[in-house]
Chain A
Amino acid sequence: MKKGEIPQDKSTLENFTDEVIYAKGEDGKYDTGLSTGWSVKSEALDSAWEDINGELEEARKDVMNGTKSPIFYFMKKELMDEAILASYVGFMKFRVKRHFKPSVFKRIKNSTLEKYASVFNISIDELKLFKG
């Protein structure tokens, strides 16, 4: 790639930073140049986010239909999976998975809910009362 060919497309890095790209200068030697973004990789990132948001919407419906607990929804909202959530709250993975069941969720102690709420950065009530 030549320095003049470094793409300067609009991207989500706007207002945060430009990124460094290695490319050849006029003299045929390598140099660094700055790029505001490249549409090709923006498409990949956008589509990853569309998938994430789609899954979050599914999770919301699951809570609404009573098939999943709010913990499942907020885990998705924080881009976590069971393993990451388990390491943040300090429980075993199977226990976290059990807490996805609405019937189990109803019986969870407040002290346990507190841990989840603090990881999700919400109040205990917001967690308990989330209806999807």
Chain B
Amino acid sequence: MQNQYTHTQSAHCENGVITNLIKSHGQDFMTEPLAFGMGSGLFYIHLPFIKVNGIPAFSFRTMPGRIFKRTCKSLHIDIASKKFSNPRVAQEYLDKLLQQDKLIGCQVGVYNLTYFPKEYRFHFNAHNLIVYGKENGNYLVSDPVMENVTTLSEVEMNTVRFAKGVFAPKGHLYYINKIGDITKEDIKTGIAKGIKRNVRDMLHIPGPIAGVSGIKYTARKVKGWREKLGPRRAGQYLGQIIRMQEEIGTGGGGFRFMYAAFLEQAAGYFDSKELLEVSDEFTKAGDMWRQSAMLMAGALRGRASEQSDYNNMHDLLYDISDVEKEAFKRLSKIKLK
């Protein structure tokens, strides 16, 4: 498999692994935005009670693993997946599969991933990569967020596969068992299903913290942070939002540009002018998110950290929520046949 494998860099690891795995089975239609959209990847949630180092958690995408499961299910792809308690058994299993020339997806922790810059290595355990072979005792690794392929030694691989903490991978590996003929109709059904589910996630989850109402929840909180937490702590909270929104893996603008690209491709499949128009709405939302990140960085670094600046962030987030709400409402009304 090592000879035929082509590494394609993507924005996000999970989308990238699915796309590369499916493409390697001769299905050239697969793209990162398509995987993201079929898996209903776009999301927003503000988790005030789950704190990372005392700072609340924010997410601009759905839970790790969901996109993969949904996309494969939509396309009737049979996936084999296994977790282990013993690292030695896990390694033997991986080696055996590689000898059968299979491409293997692995869940790993980032902290000990030696080819990442130190500044990015936190204890985050839901990263994904593809192992496409083994040479001289080293694993040949295709990490979707990296420009080029790389390698990990046996020890390094075992360490990252058995990272501990939240989302501990437990040696989790997965691969395509069987992939049938995928017709244009299958893809269209998958797209329609992905959109429908995303409308539900962004518009209809009860409670104030998720979806488009979650964005307004954050807006109201942001407005009060300066007073309640003081400028320094408030800056740390804002920094957390910026990083979740813009860091490597998001494709920019909190995944909104990636979703706009998905809708553009979907418009092609359905020959729908309307989908193309909604795609533009998400481009607009992505641009607004980036504008919001600039305001937040100004407050974080003390360039513009008056209460009026926090009020501006509040107003902009309210506008973003409205743009996305309208866009998803339009999506819910488009007949996808």
By a beta-carbon cutoff of 8 Å, the part of chain A in contact with chain B is: 1, 6, 12-13, 16-24, 29-30, 32, 34-35, 38-41, 43-45, 47-49, 51, 79-81, 83-84, 87-88
Contacts and interface: CB of A to CB of B under 8 A. Distances in A.
B268 to A, nearest CB: 10
Contacts of B166: 83-84
B236 A18 contact: no
Contacts of A6: 252
B247 interface: yes
Given A20-B11, A44-B300, A84-B166, 6 more contacts: A1-B252, A32-B11, A40-B297, A43-B300, A43-B301, A47-B236
Interface residues of B, number: 54
Contact of A45 (B9, B119, B251): B119
Interface stretch (B70-78, B92-100, B254-262): B254-262
Instruction: Determine which residue in A21, A38, A40, A88 has the highest number of CB atoms from chain B within 10 A of its CB, and name it.
Output: A40
Interface in B247-275: 247-249, 251-253, 257-258, 260-261, 264-265
Contact of B283 (A1, A51, A79, A88): A1
B113 to A, nearest CB: 11
10 contacts: A1-B253, A13-B120, A16-B116, A16-B117, A19-B145, A19-B249, A30-B260, A43-B301, A79-B121, A84-B166
B283 A24 contact: yes
Interface of B: 9-11, 33, 53, 111, 115-123, 145-148, 164-166, 168, 235-236, 238-240, 242-243, 246-249, 251-253, 257-258, 260-261, 264-265, 279, 283, 286-287, 290, 293-294, 296-297, 300-301
